[in-house]
């Protein structure tokens, strides 16, 4: 039997004391190396005894003694121990760099000691963690998944945190969490030639690879809700995440009110996002089925939804998604009521130029099943609409026009109402003329609204072509010069001239 | 805020640089929110370079091949394309017939267009894609953006889906109506009815007649009709006037023309909506958005003309495209009705960026979407140095001709 290595190590020369005269671990290793080879000098400078010792040292280094018989080896080691011949150490290797990119050979001796200790600790933890995963896998295979051997999972969670600290790099959220060990993430495969590659964060990449995995197995569990919340916080425009979240919510009977609360915050933080509003519709559709026979609950939903939209409108009163959703809600909850109209009036008081609010008013007034023909488009005459409603809307728009004559929204609204009521635009002539005073006896005209001129031009086109032309010329040359090309084209149409005089008109326009 | 213009022109070399950067380098992390629509960005990059005469035909062949492979890799095994590799699983996952993450309609449109820049459409699973289009149509004629594994059409009501549908159909079927390769067509009549029903009381178009008119939706509806050959044009439209065209075309023209807004740069602030130092002056400007100031009528002629997408909203680069392209499709002679010199000045000095590309609002950073639509708007207006644009397809006329050459199907 070969002597135990420990025996050999006893014969090792005493390592030089790790004291501060070694500037770093590399210097210390170099010194240790040199101390292990005291006879590695020119042969001529060695005494006869030293030469013998050198020969023994060489035998040690080559390891040839291992092929000898036991008797020879015993003798050999006895000599080495007696004469304290050091075992020649191999030349120190480059220690490489640590996880922060620092050159390890520049570590102090003390630092290096700690480093080694840490690495040994880390290896132990990783071994333990691997054992944990194996154990859990076996449990899952035998159908005993989720069985937590008292506190083991929590212990493992902490272990992975520690591994992260020791590695100097936190594990990903899902890699670190033992509850996700049963999921094998599916990484994104971009391949070569990928266009529009994005500098994803590691956090996003990891979360997405877990989403792909749960979708592939159609897992619908509470942890999927957490995963989708996480991804939505990183990329709220990912439509599949929203759709998968919704189907999961419904599959596990997640409380809808809690989800609406959650989605409120997301919506406030992501004003431009569309998916949120589609999601909200799915939620309300679902909730509606549950509460449709409960008046009080329906009223509660109406109020809370309106309150939330008001909050959204505080940030952007023209948010297209919110207004689309609002139309959906009016139809769904039958909100053809005074509260809805008043809520729009509040917004118009704040900003009479809010065209979205005008548009919504038009929708609420002219789609109300109480007095409208179902499915009548916005551009069609609906004979069912009572005169008092048409008059009310006309008065409302006129009042807003007096407030701000150059605001196009109520002018458009007026045209829309007249069309709905089958009334002629010429019924606006007197009103529009309030904003367009023709100058008497060569005096300059007084025009306060280009939209009034535009309306008058359309009205006069059927009755007095010269006046219509005058209005269009005023628009193109003075009151709405941005659109000169358009007004001149209208004159051309009015005069039944071919459109190709346009080029000439455009020449005049060039600045 | 950009400095007042000394030299107002389209800085073509800078734009090419901008797009080459987009082509060759990682997009910054902020683009994560576009992760589902990387195919859209891919199309913008390839098509912008094409408009700038630096398109994929100038790339090394190996690069073209690898781009082509990447696009095809996003093809869904059951027809259509995914918007990005993040929606596409490895092949083995679909073997049991699962749809996994379903194909997406806009992604399919952008993928087909992008493919046309780097090769043909022969590797597209045409039959499966055409069959899938039929499943995307709703009873009212509109289209969703995807069909779930349970067969539910998802994606809300959005004219954009009708537009991309019309394009995909055109690229894969040609001008053929009726069955192609044994696959029935979508219901074109109900789609046309849906498109026509989108006109609003003020003459614009929206996702339905009861919503607020929007220049983007207006473009999508007009372009869809154009591609379906159903726009009021005596030469090409179907005879049946009731099934073709817009409900009230002169109202639509009026609404489109109203999108032009006199824009006066605000010297002291990066925010063009609020905190104006000179409120009185501000009040005299016609049509500039401000929540607080109600502009009165003005007789001054603004130096810059921008475009908004809805009545009383602020200017935004992309609406220059949605509006001018809409006019162009209604009738090419309408395009010059736009105040082109002031519009060019606005784009060149207010949203064109020093590093190339265009921003959404004056003074902002450039982004891929607005950089493309800024170029597209100028190309509609025949800007020298740019290839001329096909307004309906939103690619150069040259590229449209190339697609007509490779699309096969029943096409010419
Ligand atoms: Zn925009």
Dihedral sign computed on CA atoms, order A71, A76, A77, A79: positive
Contact B198, B159 (CB under 8 A): yes
Name the residue in chain A with its Cα closest to that of B31: A198
Domain boundaries, position A265 = 201-430
Strand, coil or helix: what is B396? Answer: strand
What integer pLDDT is reported at residue A267 of this predicted model?
A: 95
Verify that A152 and A241 share a domain, yes or no: no
Verify that A327 and A210 share a domain, yes or no: yes
| Short-list A181, A28, A14, A207, CA closest to A108 | A28
Q: CA end-to-end span of chain B, whole Å?
A: 49
C-alpha distances (whole Å) from A212 to each of A66, A208, A241, A245, B54 are 57, 6, 10, 13, 37
What integer pLDDT is reported at residue A10 of this predicted model?
A: 45
What integer pLDDT is reported at residue A43 of this predicted model?
A: 80
Verify that A423 and A287 share a domain, yes or no: yes
Tell which of B86, B92, B158 to mutate to test the A interface (max A CBs under 10 Å): B86
Look at A451 and A57; give whichever has higher pLDDT: A451
Verify that A349 and A476 share a domain, yes or no: no
- Give the up-direction half-sphere exposure of residue A217: CA atoms within 13 A in the CB hemisphere: 13
pLDDT for A316 beyond 70: yes
Verify that A211 and A163 share a domain, yes or no: no
- Average pLDDT of A99-109? 89
pLDDT for A264 beyond 90: yes
Contact B49, B23 (CB under 8 A): yes
When divided into structural domains, chain A yields a total of 4
- Average pLDDT of A113-126? 92
What integer pLDDT is reported at residue B272 of this predicted model?
A: 41
Chain B residues with CB-CB distance to A484 below 8 A: 339
Whether A209 maps to a domain, the answer reads: yes
Chain B interface includes A83 (CB < 8 A): no
Name the residue in chain B with its Cα closest to that of A409: B311
Whether A189 maps to a domain, the answer reads: no
Whether A94 maps to a domain, the answer reads: no
Whether A360 maps to a domain, the answer reads: yes
- Distance (Å, rounded) from C-alpha A446 to C-alpha A438? 6
What integer pLDDT is reported at residue B4 of this predicted model?
A: 45
A211 DSSP 8-state letter: H
Strand, coil or helix: what is A185? Answer: coil
Verify that A149 and A164 share a domain, yes or no: yes
pLDDT for A1 beyond 70: no
Contact A352, A366 (CB under 8 A): no
Confidence of residue A161 (pLDDT cuts 50, 70, 90): very high
- Show which of A430, A462, A487 is a domain's final residue: A430
Instruction: Read off the tokens for B95.
Output: 């073997």
Verify that A375 and A398 share a domain, yes or no: yes
Whether A220 maps to a domain, the answer reads: yes
- Distance (Å, rounded) from C-alpha B285 to C-alpha B299? 9
Would the CB atoms of B337 and A485 count as touching at under 8 Å?
yes
Verify that A462 and A317 share a domain, yes or no: no
Write the pLDDT tens digit of every residue in B176-225: 778 888 899 999 999 999 999 999 999 999 999 999 999 999 999 999 99
Verify that A175 and A230 share a domain, yes or no: no
Helix residue ranges, H only, A63-151: 70-82, 109-141
pLDDT for A342 beyond 50: yes
Using a pLDDT cut of 70, give the percent of chain B over it: 87
Instruction: Read off the tokens for A484.
Output: 């000169």
Instruction: Identify the bridge partners of residue A446 per DSSP, sorted by sequence position.
Output: A437
Contact B398, B387 (CB under 8 A): yes
Verify that A241 and A311 share a domain, yes or no: yes
Strand, coil or helix: what is A228? Answer: helix
| Phi, psi at A447, each rounded to 5° | -120, 125
What integer pLDDT is reported at residue A13 of this predicted model?
A: 53
Whether A13 maps to a domain, the answer reads: no
- Show which of A47, A82, A117 is a domain's final residue: A82
| Phi, psi at B390, each rounded to 5° | -90, 110
Write the pLDDT tens digit of every residue in A375-400: 999 999 999 999 999 999 999 999 99
User: Which residues hold their Cβ within 5 A of ligand 1, which is an ion?
Assistant: B 316, 318, 360
- Distance (Å, rounded) from C-alpha B107 to C-alpha B34? 12
Per-residue pLDDT of chain B (412 residues; tens, 9 = 90+): 444 444 689 999 999 999 999 999 999 999 999 999 999 999 999 999 999 999 999 999 999 999 999 999 999 999 999 999 999 999 999 988 888 899 999 999 999 999 999 999 999 999 999 999 999 999 999 999 999 988 999 988 889 999 999 999 999 998 777 888 889 999 999 999 999 999 999 999 999 999 999 999 999 999 999 999 998 654 444 444 444 577 788 999 999 999 999 887 765 444 444 333 333 333 333 333 333 445 677 777 778 999 999 999 999 999 999 999 999 999 999 999 999 999 999 999 999 999 999 999 999 999 999 999 999 999 999 999 999 999 999 999 999 999 999 886 543 3
Chain A residues with CB-CB distance to B341 below 8 A: 509-511
Whether A76 maps to a domain, the answer reads: yes
Verify that A385 and A331 share a domain, yes or no: yes
Chain B interface includes A308 (CB < 8 A): no
What integer pLDDT is reported at residue A6 of this predicted model?
A: 43
pTM to 2 decimal places:
0.85
Chain A interface includes B156 (CB < 8 A): yes
Whether A152 maps to a domain, the answer reads: yes
3-state secondary structure A440-485: CCCCCCEECCHHHHHHHHHHHCCCCHHHHHHHHHHHHHHHCHHHHH
- Show which of A414, A430, A446 is a domain's final residue: A430
- Average pLDDT of A74-84? 90
What integer pLDDT is reported at residue B66 of this predicted model?
A: 95
- Distance (Å, rounded) from C-alpha B335 to C-alpha B341? 12
Verify that A290 and A233 share a domain, yes or no: yes
- Can you say how many angstroms the Cα of residue A455 is from the centroid of all Cα atoms in its chain? 47
Hey, which residues 194-223 in chain A have their CB within 8 Å of chain B?
Answer: 194-201, 204, 208, 212, 215-216
Contact A232, A266 (CB under 8 A): yes
- Degrees to nearest 5, angle at CA B317 with B206 and B391: 65
Q: Which helix (H) or strand (E) is A390 found in, with range? A: helix A387-403
What integer pLDDT is reported at residue B284 of this predicted model?
A: 34
- Average pLDDT of A113-131? 92
Instruction: Identify the bridge partners of residue B143 per DSSP, sorted by sequence position.
Output: B137
What integer pLDDT is reported at residue A490 of this predicted model?
A: 96
């Amino acid at each position: 039997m070969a002597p135990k290595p420990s025996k050999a190590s006893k014969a090792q020369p005493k390592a030089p004391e790790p004291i501060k005269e070694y500037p770093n671990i590399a210097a210390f290793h170099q010194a240790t190396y040199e101390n292990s080879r005291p006879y590695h000098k020119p042969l001529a400078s060695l005494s006869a005894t030293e030469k013998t010792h050198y020969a023994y040292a060489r035998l040690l280094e080559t390891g040839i003694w291992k092929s000898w018989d036991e008797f020879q080896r015993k003798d050999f080691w006895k000599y080495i121990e007696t004469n304290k011949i050091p075992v020649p150490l191999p030349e120190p290797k480059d220690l490489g760099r640590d996880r922060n990119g620092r050159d390890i050979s520049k570590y102090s001796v003390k630092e290096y000691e700690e480093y080694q200790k840490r690495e040994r600790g880390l290896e132990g933890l990783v071994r333990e963690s691997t054992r944990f995963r194996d154990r859990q896998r076996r449990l899952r295979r035998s159908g005993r998944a989720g069985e937590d051997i008292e506190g083991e999972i929590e212990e493992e969670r902490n272990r992975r945190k520690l591994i992260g600290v020791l590695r100097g790099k936190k594990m990903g959220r899902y890699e670190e969490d033992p509850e996700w060990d049963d999921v094998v993430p599916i990484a994104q495969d971009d391949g070569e030639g990928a266009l529009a590659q994005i500098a994803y964060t590691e956090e996003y990449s990891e979360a997405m690879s877990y989403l792909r995995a749960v979708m592939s197995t159609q897992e619908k569990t509470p942890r999927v809700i957490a995963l989708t919340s996480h991804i939505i916080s990183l990329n709220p425009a990912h439509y599949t995440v929203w759709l998968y979240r919704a189907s999961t919510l419904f599959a596990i009977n997640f409380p809808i009110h809690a989800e609406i609360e959650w989605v409120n915050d997301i919506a406030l933080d992501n004003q431009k996002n569309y998916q949120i509003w589609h999601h909200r519709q799915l939620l309300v559709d679902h909730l509606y089925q549950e509460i449709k026979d409960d008046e009080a609950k329906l009223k509660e939903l109406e109020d809370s939804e309106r309150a939330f939209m008001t909050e959204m409108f505080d940030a952007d009163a023209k948010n297209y998604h919110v207004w689309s959703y609002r139309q959906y809600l009016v139809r769904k909850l039958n909100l053809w009521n005074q509260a809805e109209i008043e809520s729009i009036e509040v917004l118009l008081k704040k900003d009479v130029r809010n065209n979205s609010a005008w548009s919504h008013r038009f929708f609420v007034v002219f789609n109300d099943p109480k007095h409208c023909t179902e499915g009548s488009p916005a551009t069609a005459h609906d004979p069912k609409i009572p005169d008092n409603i048409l008059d009310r809307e006309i008065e409302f728009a006129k009042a807003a026009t007096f407030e701000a004559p150059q605001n196009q929204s109520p002018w458009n609204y007026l045209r829309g109402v007249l069309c709905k009521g089958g009334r002629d635009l010429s019924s606006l002539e007197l009103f529009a003329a309030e904003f367009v005073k023709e100058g008497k006896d060569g005096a300059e005209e007084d025009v306060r609204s280009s939209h009034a001129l535009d309306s008058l031009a359309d009205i006069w086109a059927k009755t007095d072509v010269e006046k219509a032309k005058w209005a269009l010329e005023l628009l193109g040359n003075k009151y709405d010069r941005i659109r000169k090309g358009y007004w001149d084209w209208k004159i051309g149409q009015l005069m039944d001239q071919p459109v190709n005089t346009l080029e000439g008109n455009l020449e005049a326009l060039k600045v | 805020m950009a400095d007042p213009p000394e030299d107002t022109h389209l800085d073509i070399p800078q734009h090419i640089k901008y797009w080459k950067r987009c082509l060759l380098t990682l997009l910054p992390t902020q683009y994560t929110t576009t992760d589902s629509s990387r195919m859209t960005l891919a199309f913008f990059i390839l098509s912008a370079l094409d408009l700038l005469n630096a398109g994929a035909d100038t790339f090394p062949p190996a690069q073209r091949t690898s781009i082509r492979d990447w696009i095809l890799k996003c093809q869904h095994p059951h027809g259509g394309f995914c918007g990005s590799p993040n929606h596409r699983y490895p092949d083995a996952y679909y073997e049991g017939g699962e749809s996994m993450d379903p194909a997406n309609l806009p992604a399919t449109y952008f993928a087909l267009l992008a493919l046309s820049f780097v090769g043909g459409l022969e590797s597209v699973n045409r039959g499966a894609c055409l069959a899938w289009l039929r499943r995307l149509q709703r009873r009212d004629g509109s289209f969703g953006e995807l069909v779930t594994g349970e067969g539910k059409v998802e994606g809300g009501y959005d004219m954009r889906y009708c537009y991309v549908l019309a394009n995909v159909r055109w690229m894969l079927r040609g001008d053929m109506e009726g069955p192609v390769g044994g696959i029935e067509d979508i219901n074109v009549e109900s789609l046309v009815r849906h498109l026509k029903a989108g006109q609003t009381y003020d003459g614009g178009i929206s996702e339905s007649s009861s919503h607020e008119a929007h220049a983007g939706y207006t473009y999508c509806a007009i372009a869809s009709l154009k591609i379906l050959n159903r726009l009021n044009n005596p030469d090409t439209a179907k005879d049946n006037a009731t099934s073709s065209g817009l409900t009230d075309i002169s109202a639509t023209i009026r609404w489109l023309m109203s999108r032009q807004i006199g824009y006066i740069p605000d010297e002291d602030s990066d925010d063009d909506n609020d905190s104006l130092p000179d409120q009185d002056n501000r009040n005299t400007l016609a049509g500039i958005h401000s929540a607080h100031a109600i502009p009165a009528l003005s007789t001054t002629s603004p130096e810059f003309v921008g475009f908004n997408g809805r009545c009383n909203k602020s200017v935004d680069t992309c609406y220059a495209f949605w509006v001018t392209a809409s006019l162009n499709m209604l009738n090419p002679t309408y395009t010059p009705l736009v105040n082109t010199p002031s519009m060019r000045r606005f784009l060149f000095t207010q949203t064109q960026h020093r590093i190339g590309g265009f921003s959404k609002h004056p003074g902002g950073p450039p982004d891929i979407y607005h950089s493309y639509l800024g170029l597209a708007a100028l190309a509609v207006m025949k800007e020298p140095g740019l290839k001329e644009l096909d307004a309906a397809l939103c690619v150069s006329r040259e590229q449209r001709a190339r697609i007509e050459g490779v699309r096969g199907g029943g096409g010419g």
